[in-house]
C-alpha cells in the first residue's frame, strides 16, 4: 500500500537506508520493481546513501530541482533521528518532502525497545506535520494526505511514522481516499480562491503610478509557487527591476537587463544600493528575513510605500509593516495584476530609474583581485559559468563557497540553484546534487563545495560513483572554515579558534579516487584554470576537482549583523559609495 501510493503520487525515485523496522516496506519496493520489469515499465529505484542524513538531503535536492515531492524511506531509531536535520532544513526553506520512518511494533512503543525513538515528539517541532499510523486501515489514506500537505499551501516536509506491525498488515487496497483535515483544506480553499479584485488592483497601481523608483524583491516563494514566468511578465510589462533573495535566485533570469542580482548580507553592492534608493518596494514570496532586512526599521529607507504578496498570511507585517498586501497564490496574483495594468494602459516612466540602476551596476560591479598569483575562487566560478552559461544545476554546501556561487553564477531559470538557505546546513551540497541528478537525468549537475562543508557528508562521493552519476564536484579548498575565519578576522581580532584546518591530513583527490572517481584532479596553478575547468566540465562521467584557492579570499560585499546597507563592507576591489572606516562588531544578541 505504501509503495503503490508513492507510485500513484508520481514518485520516480526513493532515497533511504534499510533497517529492521522498515524491512517490510523495503521488500515491497523490491517486489514492486520486479513486477514493473516483468511488465516492461519504469522502476522506482531506491537509492542507498552513506547515511540517512544524506538520504534526506537527496530527497530535498530531488524536490528542489523538480518541484515534485521528494521521498525518504528510513528505519526506526537512529535512522529516523538522522533525518531530523534534513527535515528542519526543508521546513525552513519550504521544501516538499515525505519522510517515512519504520517504527517498533505498536505494542512495544514506549518501552525503549531496540532502535525505538519518539519520532512524533522529535519531528513534531521541525516538520510541517507528523503522522503516527497505529490504525492500519488508515495507512493508505495517511500516505496520500501526507503528499497533499507537503505540496500544498506553503510547502514543507511531512513525516510518517509506521510501526512494523502496521507495515505487515494485510488488507484491501482501495486506490483512493484521504484523511479528513477540514481546517487545513478550508484554509487552502480560501487561499486558492483569494483573487485580486479590481479595487485591490486599482489601489496597487495607484501606489505604483506615484512611484518613480519601484523595485521588485523576489524570494523563494516565487519558485515554490511556479510563478517565475508570471513574475517575469509582470516585471517586463511595466519595466520594474528585480532583486532576489538567496532562495529566490533563478526566479528571474539573472541575464535579463532588469535583473539587479541578489540583495542582502552578501548581496551585490549595486543590488543593495538599489534597495536604498527605491521609493516603492514590492515583496513577492519573500519574508524580510534577518539576512536581507538587517535592521527592519531602516531597510529600504526611502520606500514611501511597500507592497507584499505571499501565500502565508503569517508573513504579512511580521517583520516590516506594509501598505498593500495580498495573501494567495502568487502566480494568479501576478497574472491578475499584469492583466489589470495592461487593461488600464498603465505606463510608468521609469527611464531615469533604469539609467540610475545601470550606473550602479557599472560603478559598483562585483570584482576581485584579478592580478593575484593565487587562484581566486571567483575566477574559478567565472570560468565554470562561461561554459555552463547559466543553464547548469548548481548545488552548494554552506560557507564562503556558497556565497561566491550565488554572486558569480548566472541562472537563466528557476530550480537550477540548490542551497540550504535558512538553516545553513554544511554538508548539503553533495547529497542535494545526487537528488537533483535523479530528478533531471540529462542535466549538468555541479556541486560547488568547500573543504570543511563537504567533509560533513563526504561518504556520498561513493553514492555518486555507485550509481554512475555524471555529477561534477568542485572543492574550493582554503584549508578551514572560511566563513568562520572571515568573521574571526573581522570581529575576534584574528583568533582562529578551531577554524584553521591547514594541518589536516586529508588528501581529497586520493579519497575521491578511492570512492571510484576516474577523474580526480587537484588544481593549484592559476595558469591551468581555463584548461582544467574545461576538461573537468566536459568529462562524460563523475568528476572531482579540488582547487587550492587563496586562503585569505573573502566574501564581499558584506553587511555585518545588525547593520544597515549604508555600513556595507565592499572590500578592496568593489567600489563603495559610503566610506566605512570601522567595522562594528556584532552586539551580544546578534546572530552569526
Contact call for residues 1 and 167 (beta carbons, < 8 A):
no
Q: List pLDDT tens digits, range 307-357.
A: 999 999 999 999 999 999 999 999 999 999 999 999 999 998 999 999 999
Cell representation of residue 193: 480562491
Question: Of 299, 328, 363, which residue constitutes the final position of a domain?
Answer: 363
Question: Of 190, 217, 234, which residue constitutes the final position of a domain?
Answer: 190
Do 155 and 246 lie in one domain? The reply is no
pLDDT of residue 502: 85
Whether residue 568 is contained in a domain is answered as no
Q: Which long-range contacts (CB under 8 A, 24 or more apart) does 562-566 make?
A: 562/294, 562/295, 562/586, 562/587, 562/590, 563/294, 563/295, 564/294, 564/295, 564/298, 564/299, 564/301, 565/272, 565/273, 565/275, 565/276, 565/294, 565/299, 566/276
Q: What is the DSSP letter of 554?
A: -
CATH code at position 213: 3.40.50.1220
Q: What is the DSSP letter of 117?
A: -
Whether residue 591 is contained in a domain is answered as no
Cell representation of residue 185: 483544506
pLDDT of residue 592: 73
Judging by DSSP bridges, how do beta strands 242-244 and 214-218 pair with one another? parallel
Q: Which residues of the chain have pLDDT under 70?
A: 581-582, 591
Q: Is 56 helix (H, G, I), strand (E, B) or coil?
A: helix
Sign of CA dihedral 421, 424, 430, 435: negative
Do 280 and 405 lie in one domain? The reply is no
Point out the residues that are catalytic.
Answer: 52, 114-115, 164, 483
pLDDT of residue 469: 98
pLDDT of residue 45: 97
Do 350 and 386 lie in one domain? The reply is no
Do 208 and 184 lie in one domain? The reply is no
pLDDT of residue 47: 98
Do 185 and 198 lie in one domain? The reply is no
Domain ranges, residue 438: 377-548
Whether residue 556 is contained in a domain is answered as no
Angle at 442 between CA 440 and CA 447, to 5 degrees: 65
Do 250 and 140 lie in one domain? The reply is no
Cell representation of residue 301: 529607507
Do 276 and 409 lie in one domain? The reply is no
* Dist CA 298 CA 565 (whole Å): 9
Angle at 119 between CA 113 and CA 121, to 5 degrees: 115
> Helical H runs in 471-588?
482-491, 508-514, 529-538
Do 72 and 206 lie in one domain? The reply is no
Angstrom CA distances, 456 to 62, 411, 419, 451, 462, stand at 20, 27, 15, 9, 14
Do 388 and 506 lie in one domain? The reply is yes
Whether residue 514 is contained in a domain is answered as yes
Whether residue 554 is contained in a domain is answered as no
Burial class (CB in 10 A: 0-12, 13-18, 19+), 239: middle
Q: What is the pTM of this model?
A: 0.97
pLDDT of residue 183: 97
Whether residue 571 is contained in a domain is answered as no
Cell representation of residue 90: 526543508
Whether residue 481 is contained in a domain is answered as yes
Question: Of 142, 170, 190, which residue constitutes the final position of a domain?
Answer: 190
> How many CA atoms lie within 13 Å of 424's alpha carbon, on the beta-carbon side?
11
Whether residue 592 is contained in a domain is answered as no
Cβ contacts of residue 560 below 8 Å, gap of 6+?
A: 490, 567, 569, 583, 584, 586
The DSSP string of 453-493 is HHHTTTTHHHHHHHTT---EEEEEE-SB-HHHHHHHHHHST
pLDDT of residue 584: 75
Do 397 and 544 lie in one domain? The reply is yes
Sign of CA dihedral 32, 37, 42, 45: positive
How many distinct structural domains can be found in the chain? Answer: 3
Judging by DSSP bridges, how do beta strands 14-17 and 46-47 pair with one another? parallel
Do 401 and 341 lie in one domain? The reply is no
Do 164 and 241 lie in one domain? The reply is no
CATH code at position 69: 3.40.50.970
Amino acid at each position: 500500500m505504501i509503495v503503490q501510493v508513492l507510485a500513484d503520487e508520481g514518485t520516480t525515485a526513493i532515497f533511504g537506508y534499510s533497517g529492521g523496522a522498515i524491512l517490510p516496506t523495503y521488500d515491497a519496493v523490491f517486489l514492486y520493481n520486479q513486477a514493473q520489469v516483468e511488465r516492461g515499465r519504469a522502476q522506482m529505484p531506491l537509492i542507498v546513501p552513506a547515511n540517512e542524513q544524506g538520504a534526506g538531503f537527496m530527497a530535498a535536492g530531488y524536490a528542489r530541482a523538480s518541484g515534485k515531492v521528494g521521498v525518504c524511506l528510513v528505519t526506526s531509531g537512529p535512522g529516523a533521528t538522522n533525518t531530523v536535520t534534513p527535515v528542519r532544513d526543508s521546513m525552513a526553506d519550504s521544501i516538499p518532502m515525505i519522510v517515512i520512518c519504520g517504527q517498533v511494533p505498536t505494542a512495544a512503543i514506549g518501552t525503549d525497545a531496540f532502535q525505538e525513538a519518539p519520532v512524533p515528539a522529535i519531528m513534531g517541532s521541525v516538520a510541517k506535520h507528523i503522522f503516527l499510523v497505529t490504525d492500519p486501515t488508515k495507512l493508505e489514506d495517511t500516505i496520500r494526505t501526507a503528499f497533499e500537505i507537503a505540496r500544498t499551501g506553503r510547502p514543507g516536509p511531512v513525516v510518517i511514522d509506521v510501526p512494523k506491525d502496521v507495515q505487515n498488515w494485510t488488507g484491501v487496497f482501495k486506490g483512493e481516499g484521504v484523511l479528513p483535515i477540514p481546517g487545513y483544506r478550508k484554509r487552502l480553499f480560501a487561499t486558492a480562491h483569494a483573487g485580486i479584485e479590481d479595487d485591490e488592483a486599482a489601489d496597487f497601481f495607484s501606489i505604483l503610478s506615484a512611484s518613480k523608483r519601484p523595485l521588485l524583491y523576489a524570494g523563494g516563494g516565487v519558485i515554490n509557487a511556479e510563478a517565475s514566468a508570471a513574475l517575469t511578465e509582470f516585471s517586463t510589462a511595466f519595466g520594474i527591476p528585480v532583486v532576489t533573495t538567496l532562495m529566490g535566485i533563478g526566479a528571474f533570469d539573472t541575464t535579463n537587463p532588469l535583473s539587479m542580482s541578489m540583495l542582502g548580507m552578501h548581496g551585490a553592492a549595486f543590488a543593495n544600493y538599489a534597495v536604498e534608493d527605491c521609493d516603492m518596494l514590492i515583496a513577492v514570496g519573500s519574508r524580510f528575513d534577518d539576512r536581507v532586512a538587517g535592521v527592519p526599521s531602516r531597510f529600504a529607507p526611502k520606500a514611501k510605500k511597500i507592497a507584499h504578496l505571499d501565500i502565508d498570511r503569517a508573513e504579512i507585517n511580521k517583520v516590516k509593516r506594509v501598505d498593500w498586501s495580498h495573501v494567495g497564490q502568487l502566480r494568479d496574483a501576478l497574472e491578475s495584476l499584469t492583466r489589470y495594468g495592461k487593461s488600464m494602459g498603465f505606463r510608468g516612466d521609469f527611464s531615469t530609474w533604469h539609467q540610475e540602476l545601470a550606473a550602479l551596476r557599472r560603478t559598483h560591479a562585483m570584482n576581485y583581485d584579478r592580478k593575484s598569483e593565487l587562484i581566486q575562487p571567483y575566477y574559478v566560478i567565472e570560468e565554470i559559468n562561461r561554459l555552463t552559461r547559466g543553464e547548469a544545476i548548481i548545488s552548494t554546501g554552506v560557507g564562503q563557497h556558497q556565497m561566491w556561487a550565488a554572486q558569480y553564477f548566472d541562472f537563466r531559470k528557476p530550480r537550477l540553484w540548490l542551497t540550504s538557505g535558512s538553516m545553513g546546513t554544511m554538508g548539503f551540497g553533495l547529497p542535494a546534487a545526487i537528488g537533483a541528478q535523479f530528478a533531471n537525468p540529462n542535466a549538468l549537475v555541479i556541486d560547488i563545495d568547500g573543504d570543511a562543508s563537504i567533509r560533513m557528508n563526504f561518504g556520498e562521493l561513493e553514492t555518486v560513483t555507485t550509481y554512475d552519476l555524471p555529477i561534477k564536484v568542485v572543492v574550493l579548498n582554503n584549508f578551514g572554515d572560511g566563513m568562520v575565519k572571515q568573521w574571526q578576522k573581522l570581529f575576534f581580532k584574528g583568533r582562529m579558534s578551531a577554524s584553521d584546518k591547514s594541518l589536516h591530513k586529508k588528501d581529497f583527490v586520493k579519497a575521491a579516487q578511492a570512492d571510484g572517481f576516474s577523474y580526480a584532479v587537484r588544481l593549484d596553478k592559476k595558469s591551468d584554470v581555463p584548461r582544467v575547468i574545461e576538461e573537468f566540465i566536459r568529462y562524460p562521467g563523475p568528476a572531482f576537482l579540488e582547487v587550492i584557492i587563496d586562503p585569505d579570499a573573502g566574501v564581499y560585499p558584506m553587511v555585518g549583523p545588525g547593520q544597515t546597507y549604508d555600513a556595507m563592507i565592499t572590500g578592496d576591489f568593489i567600489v563603495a559609495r559610503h566610506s566605512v572606516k570601522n567595522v562594528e562588531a556584532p552586539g551580544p544578541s546578534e546572530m552569526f
